[in-house]
Amino acid sequence: MDFSLSEEQTAFRDMVRRWVDAELPKSLSRELEAKEKDYPFEIWDKLKAAGFFGVGIDEDYGGQGGDVIMQMIMARELARSLSGLLWVWGLTSFAGGKSIGLYGTDEQKAKFLPRIAAGDCRVSIGFTEPGGGTDVLGAMRTTAEKVEGGWKINGEKMWSSASHVADYILMLVRTEKNVEKRHHGLTLFFVPGKAEGMENHLLPKLGMRAIGSSRITLTDVFVPDELVLGEPGRAWYMLLPTLNNERIMVGAQCLGAIDGVLEDAVEYAKQRKAFGKTIGEFQAIQHYIADIATMQKQVELLLYYVAWLQATGQECGVQANMLKMVASESVVKAADLGIQILGGMGYSAETDMQRYWRDHRILRMTPISNEMVRNSIAESFGLPRSF
């Protein structure tokens, strides 16, 4: 079975890699992190000028086309330099382009997809709630009440990245209270980012400091009917097919970061001298680098396999969960080894190893914790539910 990239995919990867090296070097991310800006508009503007928000959007709507594999390639190449800041691209591409493309009406696609492809519409996500985390459904307290011409939303959302600068927020809300099961009665809204009655409160955090994440409060926020995505009350059924794509995106992000860790570790090992020789001559350092390279290949093979399953329309829920788990744990281990190789400089904000660790530690917990992923994998073998 051949998972190698096609000629077109290879050319796209090489083009994006050259562009990233020229336009989004690691030094830019370090500079933005040091300033602790709440949003890197510089990155957005460069991506917009290059037309990269059109990747994955149909050409009929002004996009560049491309399937999940092309999006995976894009995410990997961005993460090699940007680390977690790749979500400047990923949020809008996933929450906007992917969601409107899948759930939107013809009118919604015609209105939003060209703007998203052109980089003229910034999108965030509002799913998680206070006290929720992985238990999105159990913690869902945000509700929407039907009123004339639309809906009024009340509640709170947590950890909504870039929502304070978003034009729209893809928001999951409960619209039916008396339901048989928790996943019933949920609706997706494309909520205007500056809607009256909505407030953003930025949250301090460990990683991705240059992309602010917020606690959102909503008080009688009106959303017109034309901004409901799909059928009211059936959002969870609509979302399930996109969860695999989300996990593939996470896998690609982690792999790109491992790429960055490996290249920085090898470069440093060849230059740094101690005890009269370069540290790359020491067996312990060589073992660390061998471990990072092996993790890189493991994640790469699993990523290509899952992306191929998704692109060819095959069921890949369990495999996508495996990818998310393996990739997120591998990138944290790889970055930790990278810090060890660089020693004191690995702990310094003047290098990128600490940034790779900080930005990816969260992915062991989100968008679903790896403990819950393991539960799901075990259940697929017929074992009873363990929570």
d(Cα 68, Cα 82) in Å, to the nearest integer?
20
Bond into 367 cis (ω within 30): yes
- DSSP-derived letter for residue 25 is -
**What is the C-alpha separation between 360 and 339, in angstroms, rounded?**
14
Query: What pLDDT, in 10s, does the model give residues 70-128?
Result: 999 999 999 999 999 999 999 999 888 888 998 899 999 999 999 999 999 999 999 99
SS3 assignment, position 380: coil
Span 287-322, pLDDT tens digits: 999 999 999 999 999 999 999 999 899 999 999 999
Distance CA 162, CA 79 (A): 18
Give the number of other Cβ atoms within 10 Å of residue 106's Cβ.
7
Structural domains in the chain, CATH included, are: 7-121 (1.10.540.10), 125-233 (2.40.110.10), 236-379 (1.20.140.10)
Contacts of 343 (CB under 8 A, 6+ apart): none
Distance CA 28, CA 15 (A): 19
| Distance in angstroms (rounded) separating the CA atoms of residues 57 and 97 | 6
306 within 8 A of 286, measured Cβ to Cβ: no
Q: Which uninterrupted H or E stretch holds 232?
A: none
Residue 2: its pLDDT value, please? Answer: 77
Overall average pLDDT of the 57-68 stretch: 92
Q: What is the pLDDT of residues 155-214, one digit of tens each?
A: 999 999 999 999 999 999 999 988 888 889 999 999 999 999 999 999 999 999 999 999
Helix (H) or strand (E) holding 274: strand 273-274
Q: What pLDDT score does 183 carry?
A: 85
Residue 136 above 80 pLDDT? no
Pick from 164, 169, 41, 4: nearest CA to 99: 169
Distances (CA, A) of 322 to 68, 103, 371, 380: 17, 26, 11, 12
Phi/psi for 108 (5° steps) reads -65, -40
Rounded CA separation 70/252 (Å): 11
Give first-to-last CA distance, the chain, whole Å: 37
The HSE-up count of residue 243 (CA atoms within 13 Å, CB side) is: 19
Residues 345-382: tens digit of each pLDDT:
999 999 999 999 999 999 999 999 999 999 999 999 99
- What mean pLDDT value characterizes the chain? 94
